[in-house]
Structure 1
Amino acid sequence: MEHQSFNQQLLDFLHQSPTPWHAVQQMTRRLDAAGFVALEEADTWQLAPGQGYYVVRNGSSLVAFRSGRQAPETAGIRMVGAHSDSPCLKVKPNPELQRKGYLQLGVEVYGGVLLNPWFDRDLSLAGRVSVVDQDGKLSDVLVDFRKAVAYIPSLAIHLDREANNSRSINPQKDLPPVLMQVGEDEEVCFHDLLAEQVRREHPTLSFDRILGYEMSFYDAQPPAVVGLRDEFVASARLDNLLSCFIGLEALLAADGEQPSLFVCNDHEEVGSQSAEGAQGPFLASVVERWCGAEVMPRAISRSMMISADNAHGVHPNFADRHDENHGPLLNRGPVIKVNHNQRYATNSRSAALYRHLSDELGLPHQTFVVRSDMACGSTIGPITAGTLGVTTLDIGVPQWGMHSIRETAGVEDGVTLYRVLEAFMNRPQVN
Structure 2
Amino acid sequence: MAAISRAQLLHHPSTFFSRLPYSHSPFSINTRRRKFSFSSLSCTSASASSASTNLPIVGDLLNYLNESWTQFHATAEAKRQVIAAGFHLLSENDEWDLKPGGRYFFTRNMSCLVAFAVGENYIVGNGFHVIAAHTDSPCLKLKPKSASLKSNYLMLNVQTYGGGLWHTWFDRDLSVAGRVIVRASDGSFVHKLVKIKRPLLRVPTLAIHLDRTVNTDGFKPNLETHLVPLLATKPEEAPAESKEQGTSSSKGAHHPVLMQILSDELGCDVDDIVNIELNICDTQPSCLGGANNEFIFSGRLDNLASSYCALRALVDSCGSPGDLSSEHAIRMVALFDNEEVGSDSYQGAGAPTMFQAMRRIVGSLANSYAGESAFDRVIRQSFLGMYQLEAFNCIIELFAMLLFRILLMLLLLINMNFQISGCVCILVACFTYLQLPSVVSMNPYATSGVTSFLFKEVAKLHNLPTQEFVVRNDMGCGSTIGPILASGVGIRTVDCGIAQLSMHSVREVCGKEDIEIAYKHFKAFYQTFSSIDRKLVVD
TM superposition score category, shorter chain reference: over 0.9
Residue 321 (structure 1) shift? 6.2
1:174 aligns with 2:226: yes
Tell me the amino acid that sits aligned with residue 334 of structure 1: S
Whole-angstrom CA distance in 2 between matches of 1:101 and 1:323? 52
Tell me the amino acid that sits aligned with residue 285 of structure 2: P
Shift in alpha-carbon separation, 1:227–1:41, aligned structure 2, 3 A? same
Whole-angstrom CA distance in 1 between matches of 2:422 and 2:196? 41
Alignment of 1:5-404 (within 5 A): 5-71=56-122, 73-133=124-184, 135-164=186-215, 165-183=217-235, 186-187=237-238, 190=254, 192-203=256-267, 208-254=271-317, 255-256=323-324, 257=327, 258-292=329-363, 293-294=370-371, 295-313=374-392, 316=414, 317-319=419-421, 322-325=424-427, 326-340=430-444, 342=445, 345-404=446-505
Whole-angstrom CA distance in 2 between matches of 1:73 and 1:66? 15
Describe the SS at the equivalent of 1:246: helix
Instruction: For residues 260-299 of structure 1, give each alpha carbon's deviation from its aligned partner in whole angstroms, at most 9, with x where no partner exists.
Output: 0000000000000001100102111111100124232111
Residue 380 (structure 1) shift? 0.8
Whole-angstrom CA distance in 1 between matches of 2:180 and 2:509? 31
Tell me the amino acid that sits aligned with residue 313 of structure 2: A
Percent same amino acid at aligned positions? 37
Whole-angstrom CA distance in 1 between matches of 2:387 and 2:276? 30
Deviates more, 1:251-260 or 1:406-415: 251-260
Whole-angstrom CA distance in 1 between matches of 2:146 and 2:259? 15
Q: Under a length normalisation based on structure 2, what TM-score does the superposition of the two structures give?
A: 0.76
Q: Is the 8 A contact 1:333 1:365 kept in 2?
A: yes
Whole-angstrom CA distance in 1 between matches of 2:104 and 2:85? 10
Q: Is the 8 A contact 1:60 1:265 kept in 2?
A: yes
Tell me the amino acid that sits aligned with residue 120 of structure 2: R
Residue 201 (structure 1) shift? 3.5
Tell me the amino acid that sits aligned with residue 218 of structure 2: S
Whole-angstrom CA distance in 2 between matches of 1:300 and 1:48? 20
Residue 327 (structure 1) shift? 2.5
Whole-angstrom CA distance in 1 between matches of 2:480 and 2:460? 25
Q: Is the 8 A contact 2:392 2:421 kept in 1?
A: no
Whole-angstrom CA distance in 1 between matches of 2:439 and 2:60? 22
Tell me the amino acid that sits aligned with residue 177 of structure 1: P
Describe the SS at the equivalent of 1:7: helix
Whole-angstrom CA distance in 2 between matches of 1:320 and 1:407? 14
- Aligned pair count reads 426
Residue 417 (structure 1) shift? 1.3
Describe the SS at the equivalent of 1:85: coil
Shift in alpha-carbon separation, 1:206–1:168, aligned structure 2, 3 A? closer
Whole-angstrom CA distance in 2 between matches of 1:206 and 1:154? 35
Describe the SS at the equivalent of 1:412: helix
For structure 2, the residue ranges without an aligned partner over 5 or more in a row are 1-49, 240-250, 318-322, 364-369, 394-412, 534-539
Whole-angstrom CA distance in 2 between matches of 1:70 and 1:201? 48
Shift in alpha-carbon separation, 1:85–1:187, aligned structure 2, 3 A? same
1 or 2, which has the higher strand percentage?
1
Q: Is the 8 A contact 1:243 1:308 kept in 2?
A: yes
Shift in alpha-carbon separation, 1:209–1:394, aligned structure 2, 3 A? same
Whole-angstrom CA distance in 1 between matches of 2:498 and 2:421? 18
Structure having greater relative contact order (Cα 8 Å, sep ≥ 6): 1
For structure 1, the residue ranges without an aligned partner over 5 or more in a row are none
Deviates more, 1:418-427 or 1:109-118: 418-427
Cα RMSD (Å): 2.0
Tell me the amino acid that sits aligned with residue 404 of structure 1: S
Q: Is the 8 A contact 2:422 2:432 kept in 1?
A: no
Whole-angstrom CA distance in 2 between matches of 1:267 and 1:357? 30
Tell me the amino acid that sits aligned with residue 324 of structure 1: I
Instruction: For residues 310-363 of structure 1, give each alpha carbon's deviation from its aligned partner in whole angstroms, at most 9, with x where no partner exists.
Output: 1124561223962133221100121001212x2xx1111111111111111111
Q: Is the 8 A contact 1:303 1:430 kept in 2?
A: no
Q: Is the 8 A contact 1:128 1:214 kept in 2?
A: yes
Shift in alpha-carbon separation, 1:208–1:99, aligned structure 2, 3 A? closer
Residue 246 (structure 1) shift? 0.6
Whole-angstrom CA distance in 2 between matches of 1:196 and 1:429? 57
Q: Is the 8 A contact 1:308 1:394 kept in 2?
A: yes
Describe the SS at the equivalent of 2:57: helix
1:419 aligns with 2:520: yes
Whole-angstrom CA distance in 2 between matches of 1:335 and 1:34? 29
Residue 48 (structure 1) shift? 1.2
Shift in alpha-carbon separation, 1:99–1:242, aligned structure 2, 3 A? same
Larger radius of gyration: 2
Residue 304 (structure 1) shift? 0.3
Instruction: For residues 102-133 of structure 1, give each alpha carbon's deviation from its aligned partner in whole angstroms, at most 9, with x where no partner exists.
Output: 11100000000101110110001100011224
Deviates more, 1:237-246 or 1:134-143: 134-143
Residue 393 (structure 1) shift? 0.6
Whole-angstrom CA distance in 2 between matches of 1:408 and 1:320? 12
Corresponding residue of 1:406? 507
